[in-house]
Chains A and B, each alone.
Chain A
Amino acid sequence: MTTITHATIVMERTYNAAPARVFHAWEDRKARERWQAPDETIQIRYEDADFRQGGRDVARCIEADGAEFLATVYYLEIRRDQRIVFTEAVAQRNANVSAALISVELSSVKTGTLQRVTMQIASFDESGMEKGYEHGWGMALDNLAKEFEQ
């Protein structure tokens, strides 16, 4: 019998950059390949990247031990410099391990940008993906700060 675990995770970060620059780091496929990889043992490769409302991304996430995850994203709503809402499914060995709805909200603050990411996750068959999101995205959003250090 299949099972589903539901979770909601909210992550807030303040970046030392204007909303337009933070937005661009989501828009740019090369930037995403850099900062979305949680650490150097994991590679993210976009096979398809179509950052526009209704567009689709397909990304391969390759771990050091060879384990591979395939993420398919549909962008549902994009408001430049303000908001990105997308849904994604993650598959491993041709079976989905999770589906999620993710919203990214950017607001201008004195020191730069306050970014709030809300992840609503349905994790299938005890895959533990809700913990994977917490861990992986936590590191990725920290990495994103490095994009603004140059």
Chain B
Amino acid sequence: MRRSTTHATFVIERAYPHAPAKVFAAFADLQSKTKWFGGPEEWQKASEHTLDFRVGGKESLSGGPSDGPVHTYNATYWDIVENERIVSAYEMHLDKTRISVSLATMEFKPNGSGTTFVLTEQGVFLDGYDDTGERERGTRELLNQLEVYLDQ
């Protein structure tokens, strides 16, 4: 088969009216992260969300629509600075096909009593699967879910 790659970078910045420690905890703690990090509500889980939040630790989650492919997320944490920075490399599979690998950096910056959160994703999309527009939309949706969780 003809192999192809598309490299792309996107940046999403959000301002949250919550302290960096609170926003950071929503990524660091499995019980918290499970509440907002995942596909649409109607998706079915294919595996339990696991998170070993330390440098070298791994995270995984899979699920999908009942009539569609299983989306699998596998991440490895490269770097963690408490309340300030998280860096992970992650790959996405649709069923058995690896469709992308990405480097994700998350920065938590104090802004008054709140947090400026900056997510930068540098990705490689493989063999024509997915596109950065779709990934960016999906990531924005996740951050909307995070906002709802933080505001509760």
Residues of A within 8 A of B (CB): 1-2, 4, 6, 8, 74, 76-77, 79, 82-83, 85, 87, 89, 96, 99-101, 103, 105, 118, 120-122, 124
Contacts and interface: CB of A to CB of B under 8 A. Distances in A.
B89 A120 contact: no
Nearest to B74: A76
A83 B2 CA distance: 11
A74 to B, nearest CB: 6
B9 A8 contact: yes
Interface of B: 3, 5, 7, 9, 55, 76, 78-79, 81, 84-85, 87, 89, 91, 98, 101-103, 105, 107, 109, 120, 122-124, 126
Contacts of B78: 87, 89, 96, 99
Contacts, number: 83
A118 B7 contact: yes
Q: Report whether over half of chain A's contact residues are helix, strand or loop; otherwise say mixed.
A: strand
Given A77-B98, A89-B78, A101-B101, A120 B124 contact: yes
A99 B103 contact: yes
13 contacts: A2-B81, A76-B91, A77-B91, A82-B3, A83-B3, A87-B76, A87-B89, A87-B101, A96-B79, A103-B124, A118-B5, A120-B122, A122-B120
B105 A4 contact: yes
Contacts of A105: 3, 5
Contacts of B55: 96
Contacts of A6: 9, 105, 120, 122
A81 to B, nearest CB: 10
A45 to B, nearest CB: 21
Contact of B107 (A4, A8, A89, A99): A4
Contact of A101 (B85, B102, B107, B109): B102
A103 B127 CA distance: 13
Nearest to B56: A72
Contacts of A96: 55, 78-79, 87
Contacts of A1: 84, 109
Contact of A120 (B7, B87, B91, B107): B7
